[in-house]
Amino acid sequence: MLQVDGLEGRVSVVTGASRGIGRAIAVALRENGSRVAAVDLEAPAHDGILGLTCDVTDPDSVDAAFAAVERELGTVSVLVVNAGIYPISPFEETSVELWRRTLDVNLTGGFLCCKRALPAMRSQGYGRIVTIGSSAGKAGGARSVAAYAASKAGLMTMTKSIANEYAAHGITANSLAPALIDTEMISGMKDLVSRIPVGRFGTPEEVGALVCFLASAHAGYITGEVTDINGGFLVD
Ligand code: NDP
């Protein structure tokens, strides 16, 4: 486990954290001494972590979850925007409903969570936002995922805008652009291992370590950055 400074006692919120990458991020933050809330459509149940129900597409649900975190744990210093869906659909078969739903979860969900978290971060003069983008948001995706790719490009760019606007308030905002991390989301993509230069999928724990670093005291001079974590799958 990566041990970093600056997370002890700080309150973190991780969205979409019942399983996969979100779960590993929440556990890594907790192991570094953060007081962690994990939110998801169904409240996650992880040891030593506050589990809350939250649909990130619903402003009232987001507000209620943050209010519960503030009540139970205190002011939020670290927000990890991780909740996401990955619908595979050929472009011409993509319905407007699927397009809108994908942008709603992956992009608007991130907007709503950041909007809810930022005022308190600004008041305390400190905050760390990490959004989980995707290599698909840079390169369009290895499958037919136009809506997903567009949503992740939007999320990564929104994060840069936050970085620009809030740097003077002690708040950093960075994105990750992962590819092929071994979770349920990519269970149908085993054929792609042969295209990963390091020869294997990434692990959720490797993503958790990188998020901890970006959320730590060591990373105060890093903001507006998109960090690849992809085993060389996309070198750009
Ligand atoms: P998972 O599908 O395992 O986890 C996604 C989580 O998000 C699920 O727990 C899901 O809940 C939750 N979620 C979905 N919709 C909502 C919503 N409206 N409100 C709250 N939570 C929601 O995926 P991964 O762990 O693999 O992915 C995590 C993030 O990393 C995603 O944003 C994904 O796009 C990104 N990513 C993943 C890559 C990979 O290779 N795995 C590569 C690049 C990016 P439920 O289980 O109830 O559906």
User: Does some domain include residue 218?
Assistant: yes
Residue 53: give its domain's CATH number.
3.40.50.720
Backbone angles phi, psi at 228, to 5 degrees: -70, 145
User: Does some domain include residue 235?
Assistant: no
User: Does some domain include residue 30?
Assistant: yes
User: Does some domain include residue 46?
Assistant: yes
**Which among 134, 205, 131 is positioned nearest to 172, based on CA atoms?**
131
Expressed in angstroms and rounded, the spacing between residue 184 Cα and the centre of ligand 1 is 9
- 57, 159, 183, 234: residue to mutate for ligand 1 pocket, most atoms within 8 A of CB: 183
User: Does some domain include residue 35?
Assistant: yes
Q: Tell me the residue range of the domain where 135 lies.
A: 11-229
User: Does some domain include residue 5?
Assistant: no
**Which among 183, 191, 178 is positioned nearest to 232, based on CA atoms?**
178
User: Does some domain include residue 2?
Assistant: no
Number of domains composing the chain: 1
The reply to whether ligand 1 has any atom less than 6 angstroms from the CB of 105 is yes
Expressed in angstroms and rounded, the spacing between residue 177 Cα and the centre of ligand 1 is 14
User: Does some domain include residue 3?
Assistant: no
pLDDT at 209: 98
Whether 221 sits among the annotated catalytic residues: the reply is no
- 151, 185, 186: residue to mutate for ligand 1 pocket, most atoms within 8 A of CB: 185
Expressed in angstroms and rounded, the spacing between residue 224 Cα and the centre of ligand 1 is 22
pLDDT at 153: 99
pLDDT at 228: 98
pLDDT at 1: 87
**Which among 25, 4, 8, 6 is positioned nearest to 16, based on CA atoms?**
25
Q: In the chain, count H helices and then E strands.
A: 7, 7
Expressed in angstroms and rounded, the spacing between residue 171 Cα and the centre of ligand 1 is 25
Question: pLDDT tens digits, the chain, 236 residues: what are they?
Answer: 899 999 999 999 999 999 999 999 999 999 999 999 999 999 999 999 999 999 999 999 999 999 999 999 999 999 999 999 999 999 999 999 999 999 999 999 999 999 999 999 999 999 999 999 999 999 999 999 999 999 999 999 999 999 999 999 999 999 999 999 999 999 999 899 999 999 999 999 999 999 999 999 999 999 999 999 999 999 99
**Which among 85, 148, 82, 79 is positioned nearest to 114, based on CA atoms?**
79
What does the alpha-carbon distance between residue 129 and residue 222 come to, in Å, rounded to a whole number?
11
Quick check: helix, strand or coil at residue 34? coil
The reply to whether ligand 1 has any atom less than 6 angstroms from the CB of 22 is yes
